[in-house]
Amino acid sequence: MKTINDYTASIFSLEGKTALVTGGATGIGFMITHALVAAGAKVYIASRKYAACQKAAEHLTNLPGQCIPFAADLSSEEGVLSLARYIGETEKNLNILVNNSGKSWGAPFEEFPWQAWQDIMTLNVTAPFALTRELTPLLSASGTADDPSRVVNIGSVMGSEPHGFPAYSYSASKAALHHVTRYLSNELAQRHITVNAIAPGPFPSGMTAFFAEDEKLTSAVVRGVPLGRMGRPEDFAGLILCLCSVSGAYMTGAVIPLDGGMSSARTLGLEQGIARKQE
């Protein structure tokens, strides 16, 4: 007789699967990497800083899967092509691609630099699209109708609703990535590839360090989260394992908020404001 542990292990197991996580060495990327390796996957992590990837891999040596570090700069076309070539030459199968690499830039509206806009769009939108395109043959060959390969794009709550931080290009880039996700889900469905996105709220990471080190600013951010806290590694682990395992095989084209209720609270607040004006 199967136990509950047997059942949960079977639907969330990634044993025998191969994954690539861009930006997988730190922050949310490391949360994702840790979850996939813990579930038994072989995970390649790519980042500009090889030392950070190597350090992350060393932290995961006692888990069921395997973590393999690789240096890659996805801010250029050659960097994307180089990473895709490396994976194609190294692996016969690729079951999971997590497009997590990204960056942000904040500046006042009047001072926001042209180059910052271009750089953010290149890394946050162009690179995930191009890397997915380059790896589609390998992903397609690894997927089946019952167990498709998975692409997971890491978006942001800021790509779903406007928030107070002056990160104009970052917010626009994440909104674009959400839309690319929906487009590609239709494009790749017949090739046995699902494409979904996660839109996280505040989690501890390099991008949130600017307010995490300021107690007053952190408190202000948390007050905007209906659940009253920042995200935790286990919050991300549960969702990424669902999307990448057999339990998520029938889901594609979704942009899933993982924000403690921020996006729905924002929408509700706007609706309440409109209602008050109409009274």
Task: Provide the pLDDT for residue 111.
Answer: 79
Tens digits of residue pLDDT in 82-101: 999 999 999 999 999 999 99
Residues recognised as catalytic: 170
3-state secondary structure labels for all residues of the chain: CCCHHHHHHHHHCCCCCEEEEECCCCHHHHHHHHHHHHCCCEEEEEECCHHHHHHHHHHCCCCCCEEEEEECCCCCHHHHHHHHHHHHHHCCCCCEEEECCCCCCCCCHHHCCHHHHHHHHHHHHHHHHHHHHHHHHHHHHHCCCCCCEEEEEECCHHHCCCCCCCCHHHHHHHHHHHHHHHHHHHHHHHHCEEEEEEEECCCCCHHHHHHHCCHHHHHHHHHCCCCCCCCCHHHHHHHHHHHHCHHHCCCCCCEEEECCCHHHHHHHHHHHHHHHHHC
68, pLDDT greater than 60: yes
- What mean pLDDT do residues 1-21 have? 83
Cα gap 60→39, rounded to integer Å: 12
Contacts of 37 (CB under 8 A, 6+ apart): 43, 60, 63, 64, 65, 66, 67
Which pLDDT belongs to residue 13? 95
pLDDT digits (tens, 9 = 90+) for 116-131: 889 999 999 999 999 9
Identify which of 143, 165, 178 has the alpha carbon closest to the alpha carbon of residue 224. Answer: 165
Could you give the percent of the chain with pLDDT greater than 70? 88
In the prediction, which pLDDT does 210 show?
A: 52
The reported pLDDT for the residue numbered 92 is 95
Has residue 268 got a pLDDT over 50?
A: no
**What is the predicted pLDDT for the residue at 193?**
99
What CA–CA distance (Å, rounded) separates 176 from 172? 6
Say what the pLDDT of residue 155 is: 96
Q: Is the pLDDT of residue 276 over 50?
A: no
Q: Which amino acid type is present at position 16? A: G
pTM of the model: 0.89
- Residue 161 banded pLDDT, cuts 50, 70, 90: confident
Confidence of residue 156 (pLDDT cuts 50, 70, 90): very high
- Is residue 226's pLDDT more than 90? no
State the CATH architecture for 4-278: 3-Layer(aba) Sandwich (3.40)
The 10s digit of each residue's pLDDT in 171-216 is 999 999 999 999 999 999 999 999 999 999 888 766 555 555 667 7
As a whole number, mean pLDDT of residues 223-251 equals 93
